[in-house]
């Protein structure tokens, strides 16, 4: 073997005399090293495929080099990067309705068409990098260059990505460069027999909460390894970008643990910052965008690091988007309160609390909220009633009616105000019941305490897409609403509109009104009061129409609005807007009004406005008619 200029030992094996490869395709390969502590066998750090053989625990490195006629050849170009991202967060293994580990091929054939139909333009796939422990959700990576063999072969993954591109869907990889599995036999830990080959030594090299190893970003070989890894997935598999996991943990020596960031700049530019890690993030973003200008990078950072989404050439870290993580936490906090204690200003502040010109991906919930030990929004809202009262041929309950209504409103207001991108974890679009629990056995802690497992059951490690598709269940209405929401954004592009104005955050009426683009959003969160002749401000004159109504019977609503009604603006300042129009705002309902550009009709006197008859007989509980609070001082942004 020869030692190259990077200090890495390498060897080149020419083909056999008959032209066959020196190492046959599918062969097991390993590295045997003489270390100060003795002989050590390891899977090569740069292995491209690894497999767990039946009956064995450690993974085996596999030399993957199929004959040319068996290699997958990409047929479709990468889609053009959309102006606004609507991301479907997914996990291949748990994407089947059946209690099993699903495959790349099944995901390609069954899930990708669903994503396209629902109106999402990007899929973010978790757990691609090989990980020995399935229940880690893919975050304890053992082989960084190898796609997970549980789901199929590398060529199967390429076929999946190519199909997504054919459908016009971007494919983003949930990449893990913030830490690594502490496995020794089939991971990078103790690779050369020492504690610090790829990682920091001592306590700094161990994450106390994640039970994993932490990279030394000041090492040139670590930088070369991780930068090569980021380039590998883009070039070999044609991923369109990344969601970088655990960025907050990377950027700070304290990893963000037990730290409440207040926005004080000393929290970002002090001794707690891991400068080497921040430099690595700048390098990887610069490399990605230099090689693939259309590639997308999203950073999972909760700290609010300044310059996070400013290009590297302008002195920033270089991400395209930041995950707006505070939103999901705020919704869980709010859902623990009574309806009477919800604060409109608090909701709006959390949704809009981001740095100027910094693009964010908003989400009401992700995979984190779906894991065992937590609850999805649907389960917070409807709890055990979901088990018995979701069939349309049976009476509903007040808890179900409330839950379905608020589930739709929460998702729409998050998409409407939360950022320039939107993310949904698969199945949550229809209020997937229960939680995610990966198959696992009992775990004995060092102190002797035993954490019970689930008998290695896959029952809670799947996605019941059949529930969302069933026209006899109430899940269908929530799925239809989410689909309509995506298509309204596709048509009007409101998430990336330069025009955003919040005209009302009324704590008495429980109403939020805002403009985004040529759309006016009206949310009535009141649990009982519906408002006739409710005046809402607008910027542009003309005729408005309803383009999305959460109370539509198609979406599990009560049909209290007439979608054929027209709404004409009239002049006069209201809520700091130069014009306004009158609407009916049913309780627990969100309505989106679009400006009809053709044939605008404007009147100048409120008394001349003919209020359209928008009320249909309600098929729900009686609605209390209330007058709007004209004396309240609506806040503006």
Residue 376 neighbours by CB under 8 Å, 6+ apart = 365, 369, 370, 428, 431, 432, 435
DSSP for 417-447? Answer: HS-SEEEEETTGGGT--S-B------EE-TT
**Is residue 636 packed enough to be buried (19+ CB in 10 Å), middle (13-18) or exposed (0-12)?**
middle
Annotated active-site residue 245? The verdict is: yes
Backbone angles phi, psi at 420, to 5 degrees: -100, 0
Identify whether 162 is a catalytic site residue. Answer: no
Name the catalytic one among 174, 300, 320, 552: 300
Active-site residue, from 245, 320, 429, 551: 245
List b or e across 311-350, with b for residues whose CB sees 16 or more CB atoms inside 10 angstroms. bbeeebbbbbbbbbbbbbebbbebeeeeeeebebeebbeb
Its sign, for the CA torsion 246, 249, 250, 251, is positive
In terms of Cβ atoms closer than 10 Å to its own Cβ (0-12, 13-18, 19+), residue 170 is buried
Distance of CA 499 to the CA centre of its chain: 25
Q: In the 8-state DSSP scheme, what is residue 215? A: B
The Cα–Cα gap between 538 and 577 comes to: 6
What residues have CB less than 8 Å from 333, skipping those under 6 apart?
Answer: none
CB-based contacts of 90, cutoff 8 Å, min separation 6: 107, 111, 115, 123, 124, 125, 126, 425, 426
Residues noted as catalytic: 245, 300
């Amino acid at each position: 073997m020869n030692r190259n200029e990077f200090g890495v030992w390498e060897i080149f094996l020419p083909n056999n005399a008959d032209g066959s490869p020196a190492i046959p395709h599918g062969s097991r390969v390993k590295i045997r090293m003489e270390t100060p502590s003795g002989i050590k066998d390891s899977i090569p750090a740069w292995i491209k495929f690894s497999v767990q053989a039946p009956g064995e625990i450690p993974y085996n490195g596999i030399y993957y080099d199929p004959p040319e006629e068996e290699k997958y050849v990409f047929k479709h170009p990468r889609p053009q990067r959309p102006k606004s991202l609507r991301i479907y967060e997914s996990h291949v293994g748990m994407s089947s309705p059946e209690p099993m580990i699903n495959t790349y091929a099944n995901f390609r054939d069954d899930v990708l068409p669903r994503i396209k139909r629902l109106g999402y333009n990007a899929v973010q796939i978790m757990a691609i990098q090989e990980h020995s422990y399935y229940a880690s959700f893919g975050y304890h990576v053992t082989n960084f260059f190898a796609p997970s063999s549980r789901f199929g072969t590398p060529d199967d993954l390429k076929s999946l990505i190519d199909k997504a591109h054919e459908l016009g869907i971007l494919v983003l990889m949930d990449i893990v460069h913030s830490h690594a599995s502490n496995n020794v036999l089939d991971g990078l830990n103790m690779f050369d027999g020492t504690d610090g080959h790829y990682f920091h030594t001592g306590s700094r090299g161990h994450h106390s909460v994640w039970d994993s190893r932490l990279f030394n970003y000041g090492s040139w070989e670590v930088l070369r390894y991780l930068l090569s890894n980021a380039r590998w997935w883009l070039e070999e598999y044609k991923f369109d970008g990344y969601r970088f996991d655990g960025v907050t943990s990377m950027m700070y020596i304290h990893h963000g643990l037990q730290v409440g960031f207040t926005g004080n700049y000393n929290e970002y530019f002090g001794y707690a910052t891991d400068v080497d890690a921040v430099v690595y993030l700048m390098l990887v973003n610069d490399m990605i965008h230099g090689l693939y200008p259309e590639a997308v990078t999203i950073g999972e950072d909760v700290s609010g690091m300044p310059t996070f989404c400013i290009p590297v050439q302008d002195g920033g870290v270089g991400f395209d988007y930041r995950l707006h993580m505070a939103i999901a936490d705020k919704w869980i906090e709010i859902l623990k309160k009574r309806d009477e204690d919800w604060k409109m200003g608090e909701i709006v502040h959390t949704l809009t609390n981001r740095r100027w010109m910094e693009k964010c991906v908003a989400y009401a919930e992700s995979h984190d909220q779906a894991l065992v030990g937590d609850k999805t929004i649907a389960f917070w809202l409807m709890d055990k009633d979901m088990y018995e009262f979701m069939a349309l041929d049976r009476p509903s309950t007040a808890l179900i009616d409330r839950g379905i209504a608020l589930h739709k409103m929460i998702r729409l207001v998050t998409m409407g105000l939360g950022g320039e991108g939107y993310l949904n974890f698969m199945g949550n679009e229809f209020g997937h019941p229960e939680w995610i629990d990966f198959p696992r056995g009992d775990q004995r802690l060092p102190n002797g305490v035993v954490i019970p497992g689930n008998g290695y059951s896959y029952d809670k490690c799947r996605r019941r897409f059949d529930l969302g598709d069933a026209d006899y269940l109430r899940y269908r209405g929530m799925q239809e609403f989410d689909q309509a929401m995506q298509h309204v954004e596709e048509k009007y592009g409101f998430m990336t509109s330069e025009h955003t104005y919040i005209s009302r955050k009324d704590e008495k009426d429980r109403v939020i009104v805002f403009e985004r683009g040529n759309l006016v959003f009206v949310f009535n969160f009141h649990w009982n009061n519906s408002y006739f002749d409710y005046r809402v401000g607008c910027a542009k004159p003309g005729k408005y129409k309803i383009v999305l109504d959460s109370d539509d019977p198609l979406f599990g609503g009560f049909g209290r609005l007439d979608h054929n009604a027209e709404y004409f603006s009239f002049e006069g300042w209201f809520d700091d807007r130069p014009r306004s129009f009158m609407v009916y705002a049913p309780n627990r309902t969100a309505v989106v009004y679009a400006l009809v550009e053709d044939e605008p009709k404007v009147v100048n006197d409120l008394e001349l406005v003919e209020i359209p008859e928008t009320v249909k007989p309600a098929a729900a509980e009686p609605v209390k008619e209330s007058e709007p609070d004209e004396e309240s001082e609506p806040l503006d942004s």
